[in-house]
Amino acid sequence: MLENAPILSYKHAGLTVEGYSRAAVQTYWRVPELKVCFDLGAHPWDFMSTPNCFISHTHLDHVAALPAYVARRRMMKMEPPTVYIPEYALDDVRRLLLIMQRLDRGRQTCNLVGVTAGQEIELSREHVVTVFEATHTIPAVGYVVWERRNKLKEEYHGLPGDKIRDLRLSGVAVTHEIRTPIVAYTGDTSPAGLDNYPPAFEAKILITEMSFVRAKHRREKIHKFGHMHLDDFIERADRFKNELIICGHFSTRYGTEEIRRVVERKLPENLRSRVKLWL
Ligand SMILES: [Zn+2]
Ligand SMILES: [Zn+2]
């Protein structure tokens, strides 16, 4: 194992969340079981094996390592990755990769896909990803990974297996799809990004940002810059249905101790047990 970038790791409900996130420094996440990364502010060597990456927005602390990710997979003879990027940035990112290709003299081969809010992406037979609009200083999106299962329709419950099989073979749709949001990633956003997309509150795991915690940091200003404050979470304590809420992207103004102290003192009981500070 080569340790070129810090990685914190946490397991929940059969999923591992790995990554690192500090505002203006670097943000990158991955859930290896789902074969997805979110953002590429830096690129830990070990993240290379993950073939799909979803970019929230093109601030440098979220996208700087994109050419490195693409080049490393090629160098290690892996399939070109698929990188989902907000539609507005697609042409510029393509140009960026071409320039890196010229400078580095190595092909930047990847499958670049532009996304817009409302879109749905088929990840595998079991998983789909939806795209929602975040509210930030530049256009930004968030993503939700859903698990989908086919369940027998109510009216066929209790029917013997061979009868169900016959119905299915005759073309009757005996099942319907059930979807469960399992991981939501907001990227950088003000609270409106969360508020406008209820599945983010329902996903088993929510990965989000709490850039500011200090009481004297004014919330109107923070929202204007497209970020969230600890008080925004407290205000919404009853809306979060998530089993786990991972908060990262803390401002560099704060040290680890201050963040822990302030958050532990102020978070209500029903959030405290579910909030994991990414420090
Ligand atoms: Zn950021
Ligand atoms: Zn940003």
Centre of ligand 2 to C-alpha 149, Å, is: 34
Centre of ligand 2 to C-alpha 182, Å, is: 24
Centre of ligand 1 to C-alpha 195, Å, is: 19
Q: What is the DSSP letter of 105?
A: T
Q: pLDDT tens for residues 36-85?
A: 999 999 999 999 999 999 999 999 999 999 999 999 999 999 999 999 99
Class of the 8-277 domain?
alpha beta
Q: Which ligand is nearest to the CA of 226?
A: 2
Centre of ligand 1 to C-alpha 192, Å, is: 16
Centre of ligand 2 to C-alpha 188, Å, is: 5
Q: What is the pLDDT of residue 47?
A: 96
Q: pLDDT tens for residues 210-220?
A: 999 999 888 99
Q: What is the pLDDT of residue 217?
A: 85
Q: Which residue bears the tokens 């329902």?
A: 202
Q: Which residue bears the tokens 């539609």?
A: 87
Centre of ligand 1 to C-alpha 93, Å, is: 18
Query: With contact defined as beta carbons under 8 Å apart, do 263 and 277 qualify?
Result: yes
d(CA 216, CA 240): 25
Q: What does the block give as tokens for 98? A: 């071409």
Q: What is the pLDDT of residue 1?
A: 80
CA dihedral 110, 114, 120, 123 (to 10 degrees): 10
Centre of ligand 2 to C-alpha 57, Å, is: 7
Q: Which ligand is nearest to the CA of 21?
A: 1
Name residue 8's amino acid: L
* Low pLDDT (below 70) residues in the chain: none
Q: From the CA atom positions of the chain, what is the Rg in Å?
A: 20
